[in-house]
Amino acid sequence: MKKRLYCVLIALCVTLYITSTSLFADTAEHPVIKPIPKSILDRSSEHNNYTYEFPFYDKKANTVSYKEITGRYGKWSYHIFGKDTHRVDGILISVEIIRNYKELAIRKGGNVLWENGDGSRLSFAIPNSKGDKIWCHVTARDGYYELDIVEKEIIEKKPNSIVKEMKTELDIKGKITVYSILFDFDRYNLKEQSEKPLQEIADLLLSYPVLKIEIQGHTDSQGRDDYNLKLSQRRAAVVRSHLVSLGVDPSRLTAAGYGSFRPIATDKTQEGRAKNRRVVLIEK
C-alpha cells in the first residue's frame, strides 16, 4: 500500500512540474517545428522572456553575426533512429538531420539564416500565425539533435479611436486613401508633417498584428509617365521604410508605385491633381 501511494505521489509531482513549466501546447514537441519521426525525447525546458542569440550570415560584412531574440523560449533534445536498415547502428547522421530542418524551413515559407560547413548546425526563421516569426537553431550530431526555439512575445497596442476608425474603413472598403503623407516637390523626401499620419498607420499595424498591407504611391499626370512611375515607386518605398523604423515587421508590408495611371479625379484642375497625388493602403 505504501509503495503504491509513493508511486502515485511521484506521478503527481511529475505531472505538476510539467504543467507548471510548459509554455507550449505539448512539452514533448513544439507545435510548429516538430521532431523528426522516430525521435525520442531526452529532455526539454521552457522559459518566458528569455533571450537567445541566433547566428546569421551577414552578406555585407561577409561574416557570421548574432541576433538577439527575446520571447518564449523552448529547448528540446532528441535521439533519432533512421529508416536505413543497411546502417549498422540505425541512427540518422547529422547532415540528414540538418537537411530535414532546412527543408522544413523552406516548406513553411521561412528562410535559412546560417548553416555551418560540416552539417551540424543550422539557424532559420519561419513566419507564425501572429504576423511575426519563429526562430530556431538546430545543433546536430549523429543520432542526436537539439532544437532551441524562440517565439517573440507580441505586445498588442490597445487601439485608439483613430486606429479603430482606420480599421473600420479598411474592413468596409478594403483600402485607406491618405492625403496627409506629403513629399517635397518632385522628390521622395517625406515632409515633417507626414510624421503624424505615418505614426497612426504604424499604430494600426501594431494594434492588429496579423494585418498586412500594400502601400501604393500615386502621382498626378504632370511630367513624363515613366518618371512619375519611378517617383511613385520610390515614395511608396520610403513610406514602407519609415513604418519599419516605427516597429512594423517588414514582412507585413509591400510597396508599389502606379504613377499617374490610376487617377481618381481630373488632372485639368489643381484640386483634381491634389486628389490624384496620394498614398493608398490596400489590405492584402
Q: What would the pLDDT profile of 76-106 be if each residue is shown by its tens digit?
A: 999 987 555 444 556 788 999 999 999 999 9
Judgement on whether residues 177 and 276 belong to the same structural domain of the protein: yes
Whether residue 174 is found in the same domain as residue 104: no
In a domain, 108, yes or no: yes
125 and 85 in a single domain? The answer is yes
Please give the tally of structural domains in the chain: 2
User: Taking each helix axis from N to C terminus, what angle separates 195-207 and 225-245, rounded to the nearest 10 degrees?
Assistant: 60
**Least confident stretch, 30-39, 154-163, 194-203, 227-236:** 154-163
**Do 168 and 148 lie in a common domain?**
no
Confidence band for 190, pLDDT divided at 50, 70 and 90: very high
β-strand pairing of 253-257 with 213-218: parallel
Query: What is the average pLDDT across 97-116?
Result: 93
Report yes or no on 75 lying in a domain.
yes
Same domain, 208 and 248: yes
Q: What is the pLDDT of residues 232-284, one digit of tens each?
A: 999 999 999 999 988 899 999 999 999 999 999 998 999 999 999 999 999 98
In this structure, the answer to whether residues 57 and 99 fall within a common structural domain is yes
Residue 14 predicted with pLDDT over 50: no
Q: pTM for the full model? A: 0.49
Closest CA to 190 of 259, 279, 280: 279
pLDDT tier for residue 10 given thresholds of 50, 70 and 90: very low
pLDDT greater than 60 at residue 5: no
Q: What is the pLDDT of residue 27?
A: 55
Residues 43 and 137 in one domain: yes
d(CA 128, CA 25): 15
Indicate if the pLDDT at residue 195 is higher than 60: yes
CB neighbour burial string for 67-89, b if at least 16 within 10 angstroms, e if fewer: eebebbbbbbbbebbbeeeeeee
Residue 9 falls inside a structural domain: no
Q: Quick one: 190 and 250 in the same domain?
A: yes
Same domain, 112 and 212: no
**Are both 42 and 125 inside the same structural domain?**
yes
For range 61-89, the mean pLDDT? 79
Does residue 8 fall inside a structural domain? no
Listed residues 91, 122, 152: the one ending a domain: 152
Beta-ladder partners of 254: 214
How far is it, in rounded angstroms, from Cα 141 to Cα 146? 9
Q: Starting from the edge strand earliest in sequence, which strands make up the sheet with 175-178, in order?
A: 175-178, 278-283, 213-218, 253-257
Range of the domain at 231: 161-283
pLDDT higher than 90, residue 217: yes
- Find the CATH number of the domain harbouring 166: 3.30.1330.60
16 vs 95, residue with greater confidence: 95
Query: What is the rounded distance in angstroms from the CA atom of residue 231 to the CA atom of residue 39?
Result: 55
Q: What is the mean pLDDT of residues 162-172?
A: 93
| Strand spans (E) along the chain | 39-58, 63-80, 111-115, 121-127, 133-141, 144-152, 175-178, 213-218, 253-257, 278-283
β-partners of residue 283 are: 213
Residues 169 and 279 in one domain: yes
In a domain, 88, yes or no: yes
Interstrand relation of 253-257 and 133-141 (parallel, antiparallel or unpaired): unpaired
- Position 42 in a domain: yes
In terms of DSSP H, where are the helices of 132-182?
A: 161-173
Answer with the one of 103, 129, 152 that is the final residue of a domain.
Answer: 152
Q: Give the rounded percent of residues in the chain with a pLDDT score beyond 90.
A: 59
In a domain, 136, yes or no: yes
Q: Which has the higher per-residue pLDDT, 129 or 245?
A: 245
Task: Judge whether 7 lies within some domain.
Answer: no
Q: Domain boundary at 103, 121, 152, which?
A: 152
**168 and 130 housed in the same domain:** no
Residue (of 20, 127, 37) closest to 79 by Cα position: 37
Q: Which long-range contacts (CB under 8 A, 24 or more apart) does 135-138 make?
A: 135/52, 135/54, 135/69, 136/33, 136/101, 136/105, 137/52, 137/54, 137/55, 138/97, 138/98, 138/101
